[in-house]
Amino acid sequence: MTEPRFNPEETTRPDMQRPNIELIQAAGKLPSATLHEAAGKIGALPAAIQPVAPDFKICGPAVTVHSPGGDNLWLHRAIYLAKPGDVLVVSVSDVYEHGYWGEIMSTAAKVRGLAGLVINGCVRDRRLLSLIGFPVFARGLCIRGTGKDFGARGWINAPTRFGEVTVNAGDLIVGDEDGVVCIPREDVSRAIAASEAREAAEADQLKRLKAGESTLSIFGWQ
């Protein structure tokens, strides 16, 4: 007997608002830690999510994916729903120990022009992912395969929880060697302005430190 299929259109929102391209480009020049601090210490995704290759960087609006555990069919669907420049931000229902993503999917996503993947789960093919150059941030590596359950319910572009952070479709995602931050779409302009001011202040602080001042005197902690 044929298993019933779930219609993905029931839980997929195809359209979303994105930050404007000028803001995305400005954010891409800023460290993830600076954006997190300057935005009010918000948006830090779980520290276990790290770049698969040390030079990977990521910046773009989130396409959120909530996938059934041990299954990556919804990730394949999201690749073809997302627009160039988007970042797939994927929850795997806390079932981390599978290789949800690898060489084939990175190649497909790169051809589509996507900006990267952030997944609260594991991937595989680390050497090949590095060679392909499509930025992947993941919890770790795992060779265990996934399934394709056409009857399973998932969600695309629904609010999705990552640790203490809820990521909404269109939020700005920035990742580098220090980790990944999510800035709510409506706060992006303010966060960038505050980050640029923070970067300028830190440049002045470094200059003063090199001239012999102490951190205690610079920050008034004496």
Boundaries of domain holding 30: 8-218
Report the SS3 class of residue 61.
Answer: strand
Q: How many domains does the chain have?
A: 1
Q: What integer pLDDT is reported at residue 222 of this predicted model? A: 81
174 within some domain: yes
155 located within any domain: yes
Binding residue numbers for substrate: 102-105
Residue carrying structure tokens 């420049």:
85
DSSP-assigned letters across all residues of 157-221:
SS-EEETTEEE-TT-EEEEETTEEEEE-GGGHHHHHHHHHHHHHHHHHHHHHHHTT--HHHHTT-
Binding-site residues from annotation: 102-105, 124-125
The CATH code of the domain that includes 173 is: 3.50.30.40
Query: Is 160 part of any domain?
Result: yes
Residue 3 lies in a domain: no
Burial class (CB in 10 A: 0-12, 13-18, 19+), 83: middle
In this prediction, residue 167 carries a pLDDT of 98
pLDDT single digits (tens) 98-138: 999 999 999 999 999 999 999 999 999 999 999 999 999 99
Q: Which residues pair with 65 in a beta bridge?
A: 90, 156
CA nearest neighbour of 178 among 39, 41, 27, 33: 33
Q: Which helix (H) or strand (E) is 128 found in, with range?
A: helix 126-132
81: DSSP letter: H
Q: Is the pLDDT of residue 2 over 90?
A: no
**For residue 62, is it within any domain?**
yes
Is 2 part of a structural domain of the chain?
no
Enumerate the known binding-site residues for Mg(2+).
124-125
pTM for the model = 0.95
Is residue 1 in some structural domain?
no
